[in-house]
Amino acid sequence: MSLSVPFLGYGLGLRSAYYQQILEQSPAVDWFEVVSENFMVQGGKALYYLDAIAERYPLVMHGVSLSIGGPHALDPDYLKQLKQLADRIEPAWISDHLCWSRGNAHQLHDLLPLPYTAESLEYIAGRVAQVQDVLQRPLVLENVSSYVRAASDEFAEWEFLAALSRESGCELLLDVNNVYVSSRNHGFDPWAFIQGLPAEKVRQLHLAGHNDYGDYVIDTHDQPVSDPVWALYQRTLEHIGPVATLLERDDHFPPFEELLAELHKARELGDTVLAGRRQCA
């Protein structure tokens, strides 16, 4: 299952704090990423703003509660609503996280890591196929930040992502910040992670911030992008070429102008790297 998708450029996460400014100012943002669950409703102000912004900008859907690796059956009502939202706004793609976030009865409101085993691979590939059958498009899965690993792991995380993409046809959302956070917490080389992914399967990149406590790093998505993550982002673009980049902020929202300035930094860095690649080609 494959769709031809153009390079979207540089985007922002669509957050309610900025709805009105986006409509009033039409800022220089190439596209917006929406949290799917925020708009899986029957009506109201959220959908009003979504429809208005969708008339002006390309959109991408990003979910947080699919729980593709969970022990429960996939929720058919959730998938139906997800498909209905996709039909409404025609996103360039639909993503969620390679994790589990539900038990059999409760949503845990966290993105929890999986055991990277052959059994998990077979299980999750089957569930990805179910989701893709409903959506009629590839599912895009993101690497999460993690703080523990399973003792039973048979793959490195990047090996598991690569194998899952081969087995299921899913595509990948590479969160550069999450790679850095996990590399610090688990002691692996973040560049080995990125090099280990199939570059042709990387549909999107995320940039975000974290809190660094020295011995460990907590992924908060509420800070500016750090210098080490900017450096890793530059190296990633040099390696994989033009992939849509999303600047993600989930809390401690700054004035919109500050967020636009950070996005402009990503654009300048990205455009410089990609121009250099074209010259060398």
The CATH number given to whatever domain includes residue 220 is 3.20.20.150
Q: What pLDDT is attached to residue 204?
A: 98
Return the half-sphere exposure (C-beta side, CA atoms, 13 A cut-off) of residue 92: 22
Enumerate residues 6+ apart whose C-beta is below 8 A from 42: none
In a domain, 5, yes or no: no
Please report whether residue 16 resides in a domain: yes
CB 3 within 8 A of CB 140: no
Supply the pLDDT for residue 104.
59
Smallest CA-to-CA distance from 145 within 191, 93, 190, 102 is with 190
pLDDT for position 102:
66
pLDDT at position 100 is 82
The tokens 């959908």 sit on which residue?
47
Partners of residue 11 on adjacent β-strands: 31, 246
- Assess if residue 133 is contained within a domain: yes
Model pLDDT, residue 255: 96
pLDDT tens for 65-96 read: 999 999 889 999 999 999 999 999 999 999 99
Q: What share of the chain is helix, strand, coil (3-state, %, to 5)?
A: 45, 20, 35
62 found inside a domain: yes
Contact by Cβ (8 Å): 121, 156: no
pLDDT at 85: 97
Tens of pLDDT, residue by residue over 219-228, are 999 999 999 9
Assigned domain for 68 exists: yes
Listed as ranges, residues in the chain with pLDDT below 50 are: 1-3
- The two three-digit tokens of residue 4, written as one number: 């031809």
The answer to whether position 74 is within a domain reads yes
Domain range for 155 is: 10-280
Domain presence at residue 48: yes
Tokens for 207, please give them. Answer: 């940039």
Q: How many domains does the chain have?
A: 1
Q: What CA–CA distance (Å, rounded) separates 190 from 172?
A: 16
pLDDT score recorded for residue 101: 76
Asked if the structure places residue 270 within a domain, the reply is yes
